[in-house]
Chains A and B, each alone.
Chain A
Amino acid sequence: QKEVEQDPGPLSVPEGAIVSLNCTYSNSAFQYFMWYRQYSRKGPELLMYTYSSGNKEDGRFTAQVDKSSKYISLFIRDSQPSDSATYLCATNAGGTSYGKLTFGQGTILTVHP
Chain B
Amino acid sequence: KAGVTQTPRYLIKTRGQQVTLSCSPISGHRSVSWYQQTPGQGLQFLFEYFSETQRNKGNFPGRFSGRQFSNSRSEMNVSTLELGDSALYLCASSLNPLGRGQGQPQHFGDGTRLSIL
Which residues of A does B touch, CB under 8 Å? 31-32, 34, 36, 41-46, 49, 51, 88, 90, 92-106
Q: Once bound together, how far apart are the Cα atoms of A103 and B45, in whole Å?
A: 9
Q: List 20 A-B contacts (CB under 8 A).
A: A31-B103, A32-B103, A43-B4, A43-B6, A44-B90, A46-B106, A51-B101, A88-B43, A93-B99, A94-B98, A94-B99, A97-B99, A98-B99, A98-B103, A99-B48, A100-B58, A101-B92, A101-B106, A104-B42, A106-B43
> Which residues of chain B from 20 to 61 have any CB-CB distance to chain A below 8 Å in the complex?
31, 33, 35, 42-45, 48, 50, 55-56, 58
- When the two chains form the complex, which single residue of B42, B96, B98 contacts A103, counting CB atoms closer than 8 Å? B42
The chain B residue sitting closest to A88, CB to CB, is B43
Q: Once bound together, how far apart are the Cα atoms of A21 and B109, in whole Å?
A: 24
Which residues of B does A touch, CB under 8 Å? 4, 6, 31, 33, 35, 42-45, 48, 50, 55-56, 58, 90, 92, 94, 96-103, 105-111
B43 near A100 (CB under 8 angstroms)?
A: no
User: For A36, what are the chain B residues with a Cβ–Cβ distance below 8 Å?
Assistant: 108
The chain A residue sitting closest to B49, CB to CB, is A99
- When the two chains form the complex, which single residue of B94, B101, B102, B108 contacts A99, counting CB atoms closer than 8 Å? B94
B99 near A43 (CB under 8 angstroms)?
A: no
- When the two chains form the complex, which single residue of B99, B109, B111 contacts A31, counting CB atoms closer than 8 Å? B99
Q: Once bound together, how far apart are the Cα atoms of A99 and B103, in whole Å?
A: 11
Pick the most buried of B50, B98, B99: most chain A CB atoms within 10 A of its CB. B99
Q: Once bound together, how far apart are the Cα atoms of A46 and B31, in whole Å?
A: 17
B42 near A32 (CB under 8 angstroms)?
A: no
**Shortest Cβ gap from A60 to chain B (Å):** 19
Contacts A36-B108, A49-B105, A99-B33 given: A92-B99 contact, CB under 8 Å?
Answer: yes
Contacts A32-B99, A95-B98 given: A43-B56 contact, CB under 8 Å?
Answer: no
